[in-house]
Amino acid sequence: MQVVYVDLLATFGYSGFKRAGMPSDKKTMTLNLTEAEMEALEKLSQQKDLSKTAVLRQALRLYQLVDNRMAQGETLYFEDKEKKNKSELMVL
Amino acid sequence: MSDQSVAYLKDHIKGQLVEAVLIDGVSSDDVERAEAAWQPFLVQELDKHRRTGNPEIRQLEHSHWDWRKKHRATEGLIAYRMFGVECDGEVQGLMLVSTAGHPCRIDDQKGKEQVYVDFVATAPWNSPMLVEAPRYGLVGRVLIATAVQLSLAEGFRGRIGLHALPQAETFYAQKCGMTDLGKDIKKQGLRYFEMTPVQAAGFLQ
């Protein structure tokens, strides 16, 4: 099991980008990940040129966004531009 | 949650820079104040120009945007942030951005994260398209700089993207130095602009 510390401030509010140097009101949590999960996180971090914390924030933002749209009865699709077909993405 | 910091606008009447407030996390009250002032002014100006037959004045392309609706639709969603600029007790500009779901398109940064500017508008009395003597300048620049700063703070290295209304294309291409990736048929044919980290550094200088 791998452990990462996640800064949730930007996820739940102010990112602090205008308050550099001021005391932080960020929340910290410990996250336990399996080897495979950590490997996926590291790969995304490298591919996206982001810190692991930033990748997790992005994941949470997208998850909330998708969940919100689906709760309103919308459906999420992926489109293959070449084959011109669409497939529905099943979310939890 | 709302935070405020100092920004500077150009007061065209005084001919000098004046202090303004940059609001991060615009409230529904702020939006209400903006719409309550912007829409009547817009209607009044357009009516005035119709009566006088002023051919120089055009309809603002974003005049139909309903900021109340945009605020309601995105409130509580952490992927969205709404910013505002206030000066002289009035909201001078608003911007809605999203920090997820709009990966970069320029080849060198394709798939990387960026701040996407969903909507940005200045108060109608600041628009040279609508009034002969705009009150405040630099509103758009302050808001776009805010998007770039947010991108830096998020670890996106200053990358931002947006679809421009035709009236604003020159501003993004020339004043902001963004790359024009052409018309996007999936976005009502609007031109898509993107800013790279190098362009962002140049813009903030």
CB contact under 8 A, B77 and A65: yes
Q: Kind of pairing, strands B16-24 and B3-11?
A: antiparallel
- Give the side-chain half-sphere CA count within 13 A for B142: 28
Interface touch B154/A54, C-beta < 8 Å:
yes
Q: How far is CA B119 from the centre of its chain?
A: 6
- Is pLDDT of A62 > 70? yes
Question: Three-state SS string across A5-62, please?
Answer: EEECHHHHCCCCCCCCCCCCCCCEEEEEECHHHHHHHHHHHHHHCCCHHHHHHHHHHH
> Helix (H) and strand (E) counts for chain A?
3, 4
pLDDT of A57 strictly over 90: yes
Nearest residue in A to B151, CA atom:
A17
Please tell me the distance in Å from B82's CA to the nearest CA on chain A: 11
Number of domains making up chain B: 1
From B110, which residue of chain A is nearest by alpha-carbon distance?
Answer: A48
**Would you state the pLDDT for residue B20?**
97
**Which chain B residues have a beta carbon less than 8 Å from that of A51?**
155
Strand partners, B24: B3, B83
Which domain does A78 fall in, by range? 2-88
Question: Does the pLDDT value for residue B174 go beyond 70?
Answer: yes
Instruction: Report how many domains make up chain A.
Output: 1
Across residues A16-37, what is the average pLDDT?
73
Predicted confidence at residue A8, as pLDDT, reads 40
| CATH code where residue B173 lies | 3.40.630.30
pLDDT, mean of residues A38-61: 96
* Closest CB to A61 among B5, B78, B150: B78
Residue carrying structure tokens 């035709």: B166
Q: Which domain does B28 fall in, by range? A: 3-204
Q: How far apart are CA B174 and CA B194, in angstroms?
A: 13
B154 CA to centre of own chain: 19
B43-57, B153-167, B185-199 — which is least confidently predicted? B43-57
Q: What is the pLDDT of residue A24?
A: 59
Distance from CA of A73 to the nearest CA of B (A): 15
The interface predicted TM-score of the complex, written ipTM, equals 0.85
- What is the per-residue pLDDT across B32-85, written as a single tens digit (0 to 9) for each? 999 999 999 998 888 887 787 765 566 778 888 999 999 999 999 999 999 999
What local confidence, expressed as pLDDT, does residue B193 receive?
A: 98
Considering only CB atoms, A48 lies closest to which of B1, B24, B112, namely B112
Is A18 part of the contact surface with chain B (CB cutoff 8 Å)?
A: yes
Could you tell me which residue, A26 or A71, shows the higher pLDDT?
Answer: A71
